[in-house]
Amino acid sequence: GDKKYEHILTSTPVPKVALVTLNRPKALNALCTPLIKELNEALQAADADPTIGAIVLTGSEKSFAAGADIKEMKDKTVTSVLNENFIEEWGNMANIKKPIIAAVNGFALGGGCELAMMADIIYAGAKAKFGQPEIKLGVIPGAGGTQRLTRAIGLYRANHYILTGEMFTAQQAADWGLAAKVYEPAQLVDESVKAAAQIASYGQLAVQAAKASVHQSAEVGLRAGLEFERVRFHGLFGTHDQKEGMAAFAEKREPNFKNE
Ligand code: HXC
């Protein structure tokens, strides 16, 4: 159903695509804990909805997300962050099985950059600004920045940006392989929804096997990763959609995937 959230908006702009829009404009979409809870709820609902095949996550043209909420964090203590396991639930996003595209306009800083990197694909608006400025606040990235940014852009570049807190541009993000594409800011969400619709048009068992296999490359060594890929690949030969996809090619027609 159309649940009303306080800090996010949800919609289905085209069939099979869930669009989640961060909506805390006065705080540049700073990621307070209630927002993260709502985001998890919306993503889990989309993941569980059989009519949805892919998810787009975006913010505003000014800001994707300016980081964790500094005003919420400033008085926390070691005891309080340990007791509430602060930031732990941000990781729930990594358990979503359907592909997530982060459509990043404006600021993606700190936890905002880390949130974008928890998605599977990043498309950037031409004026997007990425960065991990936590060092300026006396802390370090705490939602995956030291790990995911390093894997995405390389160790020495990651050290530079994490240690200086300097921002980098959409074009730099694209040149280094973090953003897959750069679009005009006003086109970004439409183009992201289009790509999500294309992904959602394929057999979802194959899509989810592809996502899981690519993610496995960050978890294990090459031999174990190849083994994981082969098991998932072989398994797809038990699906209707493999028979249908290959038959349709041979018969020069469009496939009719059933997600089975
Ligand atoms: C709380 C924030 C915020 C944040 C912006 N705001 N970022 N509030 N947490 N992360 C609020 C401001 O306080 C201000 O509120 C309003 O949003 C508008 O911001 P301005 O600073 O006035 O806008 P501007 O001058 O355009 O500057 C934009 C900015 C700057 C460069 C993005 O806001 C900024 O540097 N923000 C903090 C970025 C950051 O350090 N992020 C990392 C956070 S630490 P008022 O009430 O004054 O209007 C982090 C840790 C992650 O993310 C680890 C675990 C997740």
ipTM attached to this prediction:
0.98
Give per-residue burial for 163-194: e unless 16+ CB within 10 Å, then b. Answer: eeeebbbbebbbebebbeebbebeebbebbbe
Write down the catalytic residue from 67, 111, 144, 203.
Answer: 111
Residue 2: is its pLDDT beyond 60?
Answer: no
CB neighbours of residue 112 within 10 Å: 30
Q: How far, CA to CA in Å, does 38 sit from each of 24, 51, 127?
A: 12, 20, 27
Residue 92 Cα to ligand 1 midpoint, Å, equals 24
Find the mean pLDDT for residues 240-244. Answer: 98
> Of all protein residues, whose CA lies closest to atom 35 belonging to ligand 1?
66
Find the mean pLDDT for residues 85-113. Answer: 96
- The per-residue pLDDT for range 162-207, each reduced to its tens digit, is 999 999 999 999 999 999 999 999 999 999 999 999 999 999 999 9
Residue 117 Cα to ligand 1 midpoint, Å, equals 19
Known catalytic membership, residue 134: yes
For residue 211, what are its two tokens?
Answer: 């996502």
For residues 150, 156, 161 and 162, what is the CA-based torsion angle, rounded to 10 degrees? Answer: 60
Find the mean pLDDT for residues 101-114. Answer: 98
Q: How far, CA to CA in Å, does 83 sit from each of 15, 79, 87?
A: 42, 6, 11
Residue 65: is its pLDDT beyond 80?
Answer: yes
DSSP tag of 254 = -
> Given this model, what pLDDT does residue 1 score?
45
Residue 237 Cα to ligand 1 midpoint, Å, equals 49
> Of all protein residues, whose CA lies closest to atom 12 belonging to ligand 1?
27
Ligand 1 pocket (Cβ < 6 Å) reads 27-28, 30, 66-71, 87, 107, 109-111, 114, 133-134, 137, 141-143
> Given this model, what pLDDT does residue 4 score?
84
> Given this model, what pLDDT does residue 3 score?
67
Exposure of 38 in the CB half-sphere (CA atoms within 13 A): 19
Find the mean pLDDT for residues 241-255. Answer: 98
Write down the catalytic residue from 65, 134, 145, 158.
Answer: 134
Find the mean pLDDT for residues 80-97. Answer: 94
Write down the catalytic residue from 46, 59, 114, 144.
Answer: 114
Amino acid at 146: T
> Given this model, what pLDDT does residue 5 score?
97
Between CA 119 and CA 100 the distance in angstroms is 5
For residue 232, what are its two tokens?
Answer: 């998932």
Residue 48: is its pLDDT beyond 60?
Answer: yes
Between CA 105 and CA 188 the distance in angstroms is 8
Average pLDDT, the chain: 97
